[in-house]
């Protein structure tokens, strides 16, 4: 047995080095623009820049736009990009090709999905939309607006109770896969099955899970899902979101925001709307080509990565960070609100910090540890398995201990 105390600072540093040396994803870090002197643990808000993005975007601007100009819609594949990039994201969320379209913001796609879900439910006595009570605020705002437009009412229910709450009045349910504040991973398979048993569809928000863990949309029969691409998928600030429409539902998907891009014959310019086949009926207007192709380049880092390895490293990183916090931070100064059990944990650790969490976050940033906080007292540390290291986790815990 080693004489080194694994809970002592030197023991944790040595353990981090051993874990990093054994990490099968360690080579991926070099694909990102990162500072060696900074532990960037805010990938759950904005992912780091993949190095391939800048040259790709320079080519899009200088050659595809600057030289080919309008010819690029066909010659450079711009027109088909929303579905092509959608299929790349589909692999990361467990969706077979032909079910994901990229475009618009998460908020806009939540609106499309919720209204379409209510329309799929068929009206009648189904006049209630169940919403995750701790949902990200925008999802709640959009669901409330969708309820007003469809004659429904909102009922807020804890995410874990939505399956049990679903019944004959349920028109749709809207659930966050991972709680943005606590990092709790909710039961996607169980909730989806329970709401289906009550006769209603479910809309899942994958913003804090896609790119951090396996999702299994097809496997678990998910109806509709939305998500952003600028967190764990590293698409860049404001990069376009995506919409998943299960293949069997596509012929009945009735978007509340039809546009010329979602028309079966977009260049026919017909005054009457006929929806396109497939996920293209989830489009609205002209694709955001510059940000869409930046996202496309960012997704290259995932080409040879398996989600099982990503999940294993995510859990190992968060386990190690929690252990470092317990060993180094003075007792009683912080309390984890992230579940300790793996099946209920996403890829972030949230610590309740009564001692002015905002000031503590600022002090951490000044010392090279970048996380964030959520009012009033939650420190958030997001672990992106493709580029975060165990040394990042140890440094963050040690710096937090020094600050406190």
Active site residues: 136, 205, 230-231, 380
The helices-and-strands tally (H runs, E runs) of the chain is 12, 13
| d(C-alpha 295, C-alpha 239), whole Å | 7
Q: How many CB atoms lie within 10 A of CB 171?
A: 28
DSSP 184: B
Helix (H) or strand (E) holding 328: helix 307-328
Token pair listed for 326: 């317990």
Beta strand 348-352 with 369-370 is unpaired
3 state DSSP class of 132: strand
242 strand-pairing partners: 102, 227
Residue 17 · residue 356 · CB < 8 Å = no
* Distance between CA atoms of residues 209 and 242, nearest Å: 13
Q: Which two tokens stand for residue 202?
A: 């479910």
Q: Which residues, listed in sequence order, are joined to residue 131 by a DSSP beta bridge? A: 156, 174
Pairing of the two strands 202-205 and 128-132: unpaired
Q: Residue 349: is the preceding peptide bond cis (ω within 30°)? A: no
Work out the angle between the directed axes of helices 307-328 and 9-22 (0-180°, nearest 10).
170
Q: How far is CA 151 from CA 126, 127, 211, 326, in A?
A: 10, 7, 36, 50
Q: What angle do CA 30, 372, 44 make, to 5 degrees?
A: 50
Compute φ and ψ for 305, nearest 5 degrees: -110, 135
DSSP 40-92: E-BTTTSPPPBTTHHHHHHHIIIIIIIIIGGGHHHHT-TTTHHHHHHHHHHHH
> Is 332 buried (19+), middle (13-18) or exposed (0-12) by CB count in 10 A?
exposed
């Amino acid at each position: 047995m080693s004489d080194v105390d694994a809970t002592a600072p030197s023991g944790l540093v040595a353990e981090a080095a051993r874990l990093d040396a054994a990490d099968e994803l360690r080579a991926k870090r070099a694909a990102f623009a990162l500072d060696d002197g900074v532990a960037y643990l805010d990938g759950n808000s904005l992912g780091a820049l993949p190095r391939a993005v800048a040259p790709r975007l320079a080519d899009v601007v200088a050659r595809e736009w600057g030289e080919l100009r309008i010819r690029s819609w066909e010659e450079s594949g711009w027109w088909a990009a929303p579905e092509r990039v959608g299929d790349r994201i589909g692999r990361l969320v467990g969706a077979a090709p032909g079910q994901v379209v990229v475009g618009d913001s998460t908020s806009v796609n939540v609106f499309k999905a919720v209204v379409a879900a209510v329309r799929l439910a068929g009206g009648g006595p189904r006049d209630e939309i169940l919403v995750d009570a701790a949902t990200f605020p925008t999802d709640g705002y959009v669901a409330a607006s969708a309820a007003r437009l469809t004659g429904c009412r909102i009922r807020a229910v804890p995410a874990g109770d939505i399956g049990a709450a679903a019944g004959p009045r349920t028109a749709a349910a809207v659930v966050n896969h991972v709680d943005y504040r606590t990092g709790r991973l909710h039961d996607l398979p169980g909730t989806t099955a329970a709401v289906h048993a009550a006769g209603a569809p479910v809309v899942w928000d994958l913003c804090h899970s896609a790119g951090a863990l396996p999702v299994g949309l097809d496997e678990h029969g998910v109806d509709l899902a939305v998500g952003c691409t600028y967190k764990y998928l590293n698409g860049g600030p404001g990069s376009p979101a995506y919409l998943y429409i299960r293949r069997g539902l596509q012929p009945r998907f009735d978007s509340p925001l039809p546009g010329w891009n979602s028309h079966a014959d977009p260049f026919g310019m017909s005054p009457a709307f006929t929806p396109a086949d497939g996920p293209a009926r989830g489009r609205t207007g002209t694709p955001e080509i510059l940000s869409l192709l930046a996202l496309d380049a960012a997704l290259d880092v995932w080409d040879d990565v398996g989600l099982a390895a990503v999940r294993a490293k995510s859990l190992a990183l968060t386990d190690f960070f929690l252990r470092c916090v317990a060993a180094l931070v003075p007792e009683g100064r912080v309390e984890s609100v992230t579940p300790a059990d793996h099946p209920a944990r996403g890829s972030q650790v949230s610590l309740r910090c009564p001692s002015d969490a905002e000031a503590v976050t600022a002090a951490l940033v000044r010392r090279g540890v970048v996380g964030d906080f959520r009012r009033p007292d939650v420190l958030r540390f997001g672990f992106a398995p493709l580029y975060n290291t165990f040394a990042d986790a140890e440094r963050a815990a040690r710096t937090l201990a020094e600050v406190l």
